A and B are shown apart, each in its own frame.
Chain A
Amino acid sequence: MSKAILTDITKCIGCLECVAACKKTHNLESDVPRVWQKNDGLSSENWTSIIRKPDDHYIRKQCRHCIEPSCVSVCPVGALHKTEIGAVVYDADKCLGCRYCMMACPYGIPRYEWDKAVPHVEKCILCYDRIIKGEQPACTDACPQKATIFGERSELLKIAHTRIKENPGKYIDKVWGEHEVGGTSVLYLSDINLDFLSYPVNLGDKPLPEKTATAMESVPFAFVGMGGVMLGLNWIIRRRMNLSKESNEKESPDE
C-alpha cells in the first residue's frame, strides 16, 4: 500500500495550478525570492514548483518520497519519518534544527525557514492528511491536464510503462524514480533528460542509507574492541614493568 505520484512532463502546460493548490492547502504564505533560495523555485513557502526548460517543457519539482529516504535515516531525533502509505512527513515538535536532512537529500528538497527566529524544515508531505482521509493530494487534484496523477505505486509504474510502449518515440524509455536510490514514490515520464533534478552525479540504484549502515553497525564492535585493545595493552605493559622490576630486584643484591 505504497501511494505515489506520476508526472508526465509531455502533458504539463506549466499553468501552476498545482503550486497554487499546494499553497492553499498547506496555508503557505506568499513568497518572494530570498538570497538563500536555490533557483528551482522551491522554498519554505513553495513545496512544489515548476521548472521551465526550453521548448515548452515544464517540470514539476517536489519531494520524491524515496522508498528508503536519506533524510529519515540521518535525522538524529526521528523528526522525519516514512509513513505506511509512503509519504515522508515531518514532526516539527521533535526537530532540533541541525539541517542534516538538507545535507543528506540527494535531490536537495528540504528547505529551511532561514528568516525565522524559530525556524523549521519545510517540504512536500504528499498531503498525508488528505490521503488518510481518502482524498488525493491537492496538486494532482488540481491538475487540469491530468499531467500529474496519484495512485498506487505499482499501478502507476504499469501505466508509465504502457504509455512508453504505446507511444514509441514520444518518451525516453525510462521511468525516473523507478530504481534510483532504491526507488522513489514520485515518478516522472519525460521526453527530455531529467537528471538535473538531482546532483550532477550518478546516484546509483542502491538506497543511500546503506552507505552509513555498515559504519553504524560496527559502532558497538568499535566500542568494545577499543576497550579490549586498551585493556590488553595495559595488561601487557604492566606485566612487562613488573617483570623488569622483579628482575631488577633479583639483580640488585648481586651488585
Chain B
Amino acid sequence: MNRVRIAKLILWLITGFAAAVALNRFIFGLGVTTNLNDATPWGLWIGFDVMGGVALAAGGFVLTAIVYIMKRDEFHPLVKPAVLTAFLGYLAVIFSLLVDLGLPWNIWHMIIYWNPHSPLFEVGWCVMLYTGVLMLEFSPVPLEKFSRYAKFRNFLMKYRFVFVMLGIMLSTLHQSSLGSLFLIMPFKLFPLWYSNILPVQFFISAVALGLMMVAFESLASHWLYKRKPESNLVAKLCKTTIWVLGVYFIVKLVDLIAQDKFGLILNGSWQSNLFISEIMISVIIPVIMFSIPKLRNHTAVQWIGSFMVVFGMMLNRIDVGGLVMLGNTGDSYTPLLTEIMISLGIISIAALVFLFAIENFNIWELQPKEPDSLPHTLPEFDYSSRTWLGTPEVSGITRHTLAFIISFAVGMALIPGKQLQSGGIDNVKVNRASGIDSLYINGNRDDQFVNFPHQAHIARIGKENCTTCHHLNLPGEKLSECWQCHSSMYSNVDFFQHDWHASTNGAGLKCNDCHKQGINRSIESAKKCTGCHKTYNFTANQKNDNTRYYTLSYTDALHNLCVSCHLKKAKESADKPYLARCSTCHKSELPENLTAGINWKISLPHFNSVILPDVKPVIMKTE
C-alpha cells in the first residue's frame, strides 16, 4: 500500500459516512441532525464550508493574476493545480450550501428574484458566475484528451485573458462581500472582529490564504505522490505572502486603534485570547518564519508556515461566521458529529476529484500513474497445487466501493435513532402534584403552576364520578394519579412495562402467558392488557387493541381532560366566561406556604412556552 492508496481509502470511508449523514439530514430536517437553533441559525457549514471554502479557493484568482496579468512565468507550473483547486473549492461551497439551505431546490431563485441590497445576493451571483468562469478556465486541460473539441479548446485558449480578468474582478467582489455579510450585525459580532472595513480585511486575507493554500496543496500532493517538492516556487510564494500578511496586519491594527478597540485585545476574555491566537497563528509567526531566507527555503518550515496561515485564516472565517457571536447570543453552539462529518465528506469528495484529475489529466509536467491501474498478472491461488501465489489484491474500484458501502452502513448505524425520532423534544419527567384539598400541579417545575381545587371538583361532579378523571387504576390501586402513566411532559410514551412483567422480581410471567406458542412474538400477537387487567379503562384514542399502549404526554392529557370540560361549562353558564382561558388555571407564582423549604428548580428552556390545548374530548365514559 502506498500513500495514495491509503489516502484514497480514507477519503472514501469519510465520503460514505458523510453520505449517510446527508441522507438523514434531508429526511429528518436540520433540527435533529444539527445543533443549529433559533439563536445560532448559521453554524459550521456556513462558517467553515462556505466562508472558509470560498477563501481557500482564492488561490485560483491570485495565481492567474500573478502569471497572466503580472507575467511572472516562473509560477506557471502552479497555475493549473491552483485553478483546479479553486474550481473544486467553489463546487464544494455550492455542495455545502445545498446541504445547509433549508430549501436547496430553490437555490436558483436568486436568478429570478433580485434583491441587490443583500450582500448574500451579490455573493450568490458572483459564486455562480465565477464557478462558470473557472470551468472555462480549467476545461482546456481535460479537453486536451479529446481531439473532437480542439476547436472549442482553441477558442478557450484564445480568450483566456478575458476569463482571467473576469475571474479576478468577480473574486474581488465576493471575497470582500463575504465580509459585508456581517456588517449588519454589530449587535452580534464581538467588537474586535466587527469593523466597517470588514470587506477590505476579508479581501486581503483571502489573497494571503489563497497563496498559502496553493503552497500547502503543492507540498501535500507532491508528498503524496513521492515527488520532489517545488521548494523554490513555494519559497517565492512565501516571500510574496509576507507582504500581503503585512498589509493585512497594518490594516487591522490601524482599524482597531482608529475605532478605539485596542484595549479589548488585552482584557483577558476568551474572545481576546482567541483574537490574539488567531493573529499569532495567521500572521505574526508565519511572517517571522518566512522573513528569514534560510528558514523560508526549508521544506519543513514551508509545511508549517503555510499550514498556519491556512489554519489561522480559516479560524478567522469561523470566528466571524459565528464563533464570536456566541457571547452576545448567549447560546452555546457546538457542532454535532453529523455536521462535522458532512464538512469532512465534502472536502473528501473534492480531494478525490483532485487526485483523479492529477492522475488522468496533464496538470503536472510529469503525470503520475494511478496506482491501481497496474494489471495483476499473477493468479492469487493455484488450485492444482493448492498454494497461495501472492497476496490477494483487489482492484481500486472494488476496494473503494466496499469502503464507501461499509462506512455508509456504519454511518447509518451510528446516527442515534432516538434523537432523530424525538423531533427535538426533550424527555422531561413529570413531577407529582402536591397538596391535599387543593393540588398544585407543576409537572416540569418551571413555576408555571396550576392550582387545581381537587375537593371543589369532587363536590361538583359527585363522589361516584372519580373515574371521569381517574380513568385507569393500576393493579392494587384505587385512584392512580395522572403522572404515573402520563410520565413524560411533552412526548407520548409507551406505558406497558415489558421487562417488569417478565422479571421474576416483577410480575414473574412466562413468555407463553402472553405470547402464543408457535407464533412470532410481537406486540400484535400478544395478549391484550385487558385480558388480565379486567378493570383497565383505556381512553378512546388509545386503541385497546394490540398496538402499543401509548399514553399521551402530560400536557396533552391534562389539557384534553380539563379544557374540554371547561369549554363546555363556559358555554353553558354565562356567568363564567373566563373559565376556558389559559390564565384561569395557569398562574406564574407559587403561594409562599407551598414554596417554603422547597428548592424549585426552574428549567429555563421550557419557561415561556405556551402549549395550546388541542381540544377534543378523549375521555371515555365509564359504565
Contacts and interface: CB of A to CB of B under 8 A. Distances in A.
Are chains A and B native binding partners rather than an unrelated pairing?
A: yes
Interface of A: 13-17, 19-20, 23, 30-43, 46, 49-52, 56, 70, 73-79, 94-100, 102-104, 106, 108, 111-120, 198-201, 203, 208-209, 211-216, 219, 222-223, 226-227, 230-231, 233-234, 237-238, 241
Most buried by B among A43, A198, A201: A201
B65 interface: yes
B582 A15 contact: yes
Contacts of B556: 30
Contacts of B613: 30
Given A76-B124, A95-B106, A104 B184 contact: yes
Interface of B: 26-32, 36-39, 41-42, 65, 69-71, 101-104, 106-107, 109-110, 113-122, 124, 165, 168-170, 172-173, 176-177, 180-181, 183-188, 196, 199, 328-329, 423-426, 490-491, 553, 555-556, 581-583, 586, 588, 604-614
Select the residue from B114, B553, B611 with max chain A CB neighbours within 10 A.
B611
B107 to A, nearest CB: 6
B425 A34 contact: yes
Contacts of A97: 101-104, 106
B614 A98 contact: no
B38 A33 contact: no
A116 B556 CA distance: 21
B581 A216 contact: no
B115 A78 contact: yes
A219 B176 CA distance: 9
A119 B103 contact: yes
B115 A98 contact: no
A122 to B, nearest CB: 10
Nearest to A52: B588
B102 A33 contact: no
B611 A100 contact: no
A195 to B, nearest CB: 12
Nearest to B123: A76
B610 A219 contact: no
Given A108-B39, A117-B26, A216-B180, A199 B169 contact: no
B103 A38 contact: no
A7 B426 CA distance: 33
B581 A15 contact: yes
A214 B180 CA distance: 10
B31 A230 contact: no
A61 B178 CA distance: 32
Contacts of A52: 588, 607-608
19 contacts: A15-B583, A31-B609, A31-B611, A35-B605, A36-B38, A39-B604, A41-B608, A41-B610, A97-B106, A99-B41, A115-B32, A119-B103, A214-B196, A215-B183, A222-B173, A223-B172, A227-B165, A233-B70, A234-B71
Given A31-B610, A33-B425, A119 B30 contact: yes
A113 B102 CA distance: 9
Nearest to B586: A16
A106 B39 CA distance: 11
Contacts of B612: 19-20, 23, 30-31
B618 to A, nearest CB: 14
Contacts of B104: 96-97
A34 B165 CA distance: 50
Contact of A70 (B28, B38, B165, B184): B184
Contacts of B588: 14, 52, 56
B317 to A, nearest CB: 15
B172 A49 contact: no
Given A33-B426, A46-B609, A73-B184, A216 B117 contact: yes
A32 B169 contact: no
B185 A223 contact: no
Contacts of A46: 609-610
Nearest to A95: B103
Interface centre among A39, A76, A94, A227 (most CB of B within 10 A): A76
A95 B120 CA distance: 13
Contact of B583 (A16, A208, A219): A16
Contacts of B28: 117
Contacts of A102: 38, 41
A158 B106 CA distance: 44
Given A39-B608, A46-B610, 8 more contacts: A36-B38, A74-B119, A96-B107, A97-B106, A99-B41, A200-B328, A208-B186, A226-B168
Contacts of B553: 32
A252 to B, nearest CB: 21
A32 B555 contact: yes
B69 A230 contact: yes
A20 B582 CA distance: 9
A212 B29 contact: no
B109 A96 contact: yes
Contact of A74 (B31, B39, B176, B184): B184
B473 to A, nearest CB: 28
Given A36-B36, A43-B609, A95-B103, A219 B184 contact: no
A212 B610 contact: no
A222 B604 CA distance: 48
B109 A77 contact: yes
A160 B44 CA distance: 44
Contact of B582 (A16, A42, A95): A16
Nearest to B116: A216
Contact of B38 (A43, A199, A230): A43
Given A36-B38, A119-B29, A203 B187 contact: yes
Nearest to B31: A114
A213 B117 contact: yes
B61 to A, nearest CB: 10
A32 B172 contact: no
A19 B109 contact: no
A199 B606 contact: no
Contacts of A50: 608, 610
B609 A199 contact: no
Contacts of A100: 118, 120, 181
Contact of B113 (A70, A94, A209): A94
B608 A74 contact: no
B115 A30 contact: no
A208 B180 CA distance: 13
A115 B31 contact: yes
Contacts of B116: 216
Contacts of A230: 65, 69, 165, 168-169
A234 to B, nearest CB: 5
Contact of A96 (B101, B184, B604): B101
Contacts of A226: 168-169, 172
Instruction: Sort A-B residue pairs by CB-CB distance and give the 10 closest, nearest first.
Output: A97-B102, A114-B31, A41-B608, A36-B37, A34-B424, A76-B121, A99-B41, A96-B106, A32-B490, A77-B113
A99 B102 contact: yes
A104 B182 CA distance: 8
Contact of B426 (A20, A35, A56): A35
Contacts of B609: 31-33, 37, 41, 43, 46
Contacts of B614: 30
Given A30-B612, A99-B41, A212-B180, A199 B329 contact: yes
Contacts of A237: 69-71
A95 B107 CA distance: 9
Contact of A108 (B38, B196, B423): B38
Question: Which of B115, B604, B610 neighbours the largest number of chain A CB atoms within 10 Å of its CB?
Answer: B610
A193 B331 CA distance: 22
Given A77-B109, A95-B103, A219-B173, A212 B120 contact: no
B610 A16 contact: yes
A103 B185 contact: yes
Nearest to A233: B69
B41 A112 contact: yes
A177 to B, nearest CB: 16
B114 A78 contact: yes
B301 to A, nearest CB: 30
